[in-house]
Each structure stands twice: as structure tokens, then as C-alpha cells.
Amino acid sequence: MSIKPKFDIIHAILALREIGTTKSIEYLKNIACYKNMDIQGSSVLTIAKLSNGRENDFFGKLLLDKEYKSKWYAMWAIFFKANEKALPYVLEYGVNKVKNCKKIPECGWLILLYLARYAPDNEQSRKIFSRINKDFENMPSYIGDELKKEFPDIFGK
């Protein structure tokens, strides 16, 4: 893809973010798995703004979609108006990807935060928390300190 069409698509997405309606969401979903990560991220964040949390299950499914590479943006979109709709997908992704503090995906701390807020007593969540707590000294301090401060009963025990 040449640079011009890429930026034309991004500019259209950003225009929809400012003046679009919920009718735009289906069109944005069609380009959410576009091969360019800038377009993936822009479209997902625009859907988040337009949908006000109603599409969180869609963002959760993107975590499990091999074609969607911008996992960070999917989690960020979930947090735009967080609710429990994405929980089964975040749990599945977290169980498979969050192994320890050294090998945590780039969106891993958002996964931990989401699970601590929406499923602290869930068995799969506790499994993930246990993995992290065994290796907590390897967690970057700026993340670990915040997790311990907000969720002292879960992290850094």
C-alpha cells in the first residue's frame, strides 16, 4: 500500500471519530483487521468512542483474532467505557499470554487491571494473578506499584 491511500483511510477514520455516528461502526469493523496497524488502532479507538462500551465484546474478540495485531488498542478500547462484556475474551487471552512478569504481552498490565476490577474472584483470574505474584519482583516498578496500591489484596503479596 502506498502512503497516500493509508493516510486517506486514517484521515477518514479520524473524521468519523469527530463527527461519525453509530451507523459508522459496521464500516469501521470491516477495516479493523486491515493489514496496517495504524489503521487497525485508529478504527478500533474510533469504534470505542462511538459505541460507548456497547462493542466491548467485539474488542475482546479482537484479542483472540490472529489477524488483529494491535492488541494494545483492543484493550485500550475496552477501557474507554469498561464493562464486563469483554470478560470471557480477556480471560482466555490472559490465561494463554500472561505467563509471568518477564514475558508479559504489551497489553498485559491492562489485562491485569481489567481482571482485578471485573473478575477478582474468578478462578482463571486467580491463576493469572498467582503467576504474576510469583514473579512480582520482575514487574516494572511503575506498573507494580500502581497495581499494589489499587489492589493490595491481589498483587505483591
pLDDT digits (tens, 9 = 90+) for 51-82: 999 999 999 999 999 999 999 999 999 999 99
* Cα–Cα distance for residue pair 36/63, rounded to 1 Å: 16
* Cα–Cα distance for residue pair 60/100, rounded to 1 Å: 21
How many H-runs (helices) and E-runs (strands) does the chain carry? 9, 0
The span from the first CA to the last CA of the chain, in angstroms, equals 50
Give yes or no for a contact between 39 and 31, defined as CB atoms under 8 angstroms apart: yes
Q: What percentage of the chain exceeds 70 in pLDDT?
A: 97
Q: What is the pLDDT of residue 104?
A: 87
